Structure 1
Amino acid sequence: MQIGPHYRARGGCTFRVWAPLRNKVDLRILLPEERVLPMEKDARGYWWISLEDVLPGTTYRYRLDDKLERPDPASRFQPDGVHGPSGIIDPAAFRWDDGNWRGLPLEEMIIYELHVGTFSPEGTFDAVSSRLDDLKDLGINTIEFMPVAQFPGERNWGYDGTYPFAIQNSYGGPEGLQRTVNECHAKGLAVILDVVYNHLGPEGNYLRDFGPYFTSKYKTPWGDAVNFDDAFSDEVRLFFIENALHLFCDYHVDALRIDAVHGIVDTSAMPFLQELAEKVDAISSLCGRRLYLIAESDLNDVRIIKPQKLGGFGIDAQWCDDYHHAVHALITNERQGYYDDFGELSHLAKALREGYVYSGQYSSFRRKRHGNSSLERPAHQFIVFSQNHDQVGNRAGGERLSSIVSFESLKLSAGIILLSPYIPLLFMGEEYGEDSPFLYFISHSDPSLIESIREGRKEEFREFMWDAKPYDPQEKETFLRSRVHWGKRTSGKHGILLAFYRQLIGLRKELPALATPDKESLDVEENDYTKILSMRRWKNSCQIFLLLNFSKSQQETAVSLPEGLWVKILDSADERWSGPGAMLPPIIKTGDELTMPKESFALFRSTETERGK
Structure 2
Amino acid sequence: MDIRTRTTGINFINNKTTTINIWAPQAEKIEVQCGKFTISLNKDDFGNWTGFTDLIKAGDLYWVIIDGHKRIPDPASLGQPEGVHGPSSAIDLHYEWTDDSWQNPSLRDYIFYELHTGTYTADGNFQGIINQLDYLVELGITAIEIMPVAAFPGERNWGYDGVFPYAVQWSYGGAAGLQQLVDKCHQKGLAVVLDVVYNHLGPEGNYLTEFGPYFTDKYKTPWGAAVNYDDRYSDGVRKFVIENVLMWFRDFHVDALRLDAVHAIKDFSAIHILQDIRRETDRLIKQTGRMHYLIAESDLNDPRYISGLSENGLGMHAQWTDEFHHALRVSAGEPKTGYYSDFMGIEHLAKAYRDAYVYTGMYSSERARKFGRETTGHPGSQFIVFSQNHDQTGNRMLGSRSGTLYSYEMQKLLAGAVMLSPFLPMLFMGEEYGETNPFLYFVSHTDSELVENVRSGRKQEFAAMHLEGEAPDPQDPVTMQQSRLNWSLLKEKHHQVMLLFYQAIIALHKRHAQIHSDEKELTRCTALKELNCLLLERSTTGSSELIFCLMNFSVEIQQISIPVNIKLAGVIFNSAAQIWGGPGDLSAARQPEHQQISIQPESFIVYQANYV
Q: Residue 91 and residue 389 in structure 1: after superposition, are their counterparts in 2 closer, same or farther (change >3 A)?
A: same
Deviation at 1:489, TM superposition (A): 2.5
Question: One-letter code of the match for 2:85?
Answer: H
Aligned to 2:12: 7
Question: One-letter code of the match for 2:579?
Answer: R
Aligned to 1:20: 25
Give the conservation status (yes or no) of the 8 Å contact 2:275–2:309: yes
Aligned to 1:131: 132
Aligned to 2:597: 594
Query: Which of 571, 576, 586 is the equivalent residue of 2:574?
Result: 571
Q: Residue 308 and residue 586 in structure 1: after superposition, are their counterparts in 2 closer, same or farther (change >3 A)?
A: farther
Per mean C-alpha deviation after superposition, the further-off stretch among 329-338 and 109-118 is 329-338
CA distance in structure 1 between the partners assigned to 2:539 and 2:390 by the alignment: 32
Deviation at 1:289, TM superposition (A): 2.2
Give the conservation status (yes or no) of the 8 Å contact 1:566–1:587: no
Q: Which consecutive unaligned segments of at least 5 residues does structure 1 have?
A: none
Aligned to 2:199: 198
Aligned to 1:495: 496
CA distance in structure 2 between the partners assigned to 1:330 and 1:107 by the alignment: 26
Aligned to 1:241: 242
Aligned to 2:166: 165
Aligned residue pairs: how many?
Answer: 605
Give the conservation status (yes or no) of the 8 Å contact 1:490–1:498: no
Give the conservation status (yes or no) of the 8 Å contact 2:37–2:55: no
Per mean C-alpha deviation after superposition, the further-off stretch among 435-444 and 593-602 is 593-602
Deviation at 1:555, TM superposition (A): 1.8
Q: Residue 12 and residue 496 in structure 1: after superposition, are their counterparts in 2 closer, same or farther (change >3 A)?
A: same
Deviations 1:170-191 (A, max 9, x none): 0000111011100000010000
Q: Residue 303 and residue 563 in structure 1: after superposition, are their counterparts in 2 closer, same or farther (change >3 A)?
A: closer
Deviations 1:481-518 (A, max 9, x none): 00001221252211111111100001111111112222
Within 5 Å, give how 1:293-442 maps onto structure 2. 293-442=294-443
Aligned to 2:77: 75
Deviation at 1:52, TM superposition (A): 2.0
Per mean C-alpha deviation after superposition, the further-off stretch among 384-393 and 305-314 is 305-314
Give the conservation status (yes or no) of the 8 Å contact 1:76–1:166: yes
SS in 2 for 1:332: coil
Deviation at 1:152, TM superposition (A): 0.6
Aligned to 1:532: 533
TM-score, normalization by structure 1? 0.97
CA distance in structure 2 between the partners assigned to 1:69 and 1:561 by the alignment: 76
Aligned to 1:35: 37
Deviation at 1:48, TM superposition (A): 1.1
Q: Residue 46 and residue 523 in structure 1: after superposition, are their counterparts in 2 closer, same or farther (change >3 A)?
A: same
Question: One-letter code of the match for 1:580?
Answer: P
Q: Which consecutive unaligned segments of at least 5 residues does structure 2 have?
A: 1-5
- Whether 1:548 and 2:548 are equivalent positions in the alignment is no
Per mean C-alpha deviation after superposition, the further-off stretch among 387-396 and 372-381 is 372-381
CA distance in structure 1 between the partners assigned to 2:420 and 2:568 by the alignment: 21
Per mean C-alpha deviation after superposition, the further-off stretch among 122-131 and 540-549 is 540-549
Question: One-letter code of the match for 2:450?
Answer: L
CA distance in structure 2 between the partners assigned to 1:552 and 1:99 by the alignment: 52
Aligned to 2:484: 483
Identity of aligned residues (%): 45
CA distance in structure 1 between the partners assigned to 2:23 and 2:334 by the alignment: 52
Give the conservation status (yes or no) of the 8 Å contact 1:26–1:37: yes
Aligned to 1:177: 178
Aligned to 2:209: 208
Aligned to 2:90: 88
Aligned to 2:611: 612
CA distance in structure 2 between the partners assigned to 1:577 and 1:100 by the alignment: 38
Question: One-letter code of the match for 1:27?
Answer: V
Deviation at 1:579, TM superposition (A): 1.3
Within 5 Å, give how 1:240-319 maps onto structure 2. 240-319=241-320
Give the conservation status (yes or no) of the 8 Å contact 1:572–1:579: yes
SS in 2 for 1:412: helix
Q: Residue 408 and residue 461 in structure 1: after superposition, are their counterparts in 2 closer, same or farther (change >3 A)?
A: same
Deviation at 1:244, TM superposition (A): 0.4
Aligned to 2:3: none
Question: One-letter code of the match for 1:555?
Answer: Q
CA distance in structure 2 between the partners assigned to 1:503 and 1:561 by the alignment: 30
Deviations 1:248-278 (A, max 9, x none): 0110000000000011011111000111111
Aligned to 2:49: 47
Deviation at 1:27, TM superposition (A): 1.0
CA distance in structure 1 between the partners assigned to 2:505 and 2:460 by the alignment: 39
Question: One-letter code of the match for 2:139?
Answer: L
Aligned to 1:105: 106
Deviation at 1:549, TM superposition (A): 0.7
Deviation at 1:387, TM superposition (A): 0.4
Give the conservation status (yes or no) of the 8 Å contact 2:142–2:189: yes
CA distance in structure 2 between the partners assigned to 1:439 and 1:333 by the alignment: 19
SS in 2 for 1:9: coil
CA distance in structure 1 between the partners assigned to 2:449 and 2:148 by the alignment: 25
SS in 2 for 1:506: helix
CA distance in structure 2 between the partners assigned to 1:490 and 1:122 by the alignment: 20
Aligned to 2:65: 63
CA distance in structure 2 between the partners assigned to 1:167 and 1:200 by the alignment: 15
Deviation at 1:404, TM superposition (A): 1.1
Per mean C-alpha deviation after superposition, the further-off stretch among 156-165 and 357-366 is 357-366
Give the conservation status (yes or no) of the 8 Å contact 1:14–1:51: yes
CA distance in structure 2 between the partners assigned to 1:224 and 1:491 by the alignment: 49
CA distance in structure 1 between the partners assigned to 2:228 and 2:137 by the alignment: 41
SS in 2 for 1:117: helix
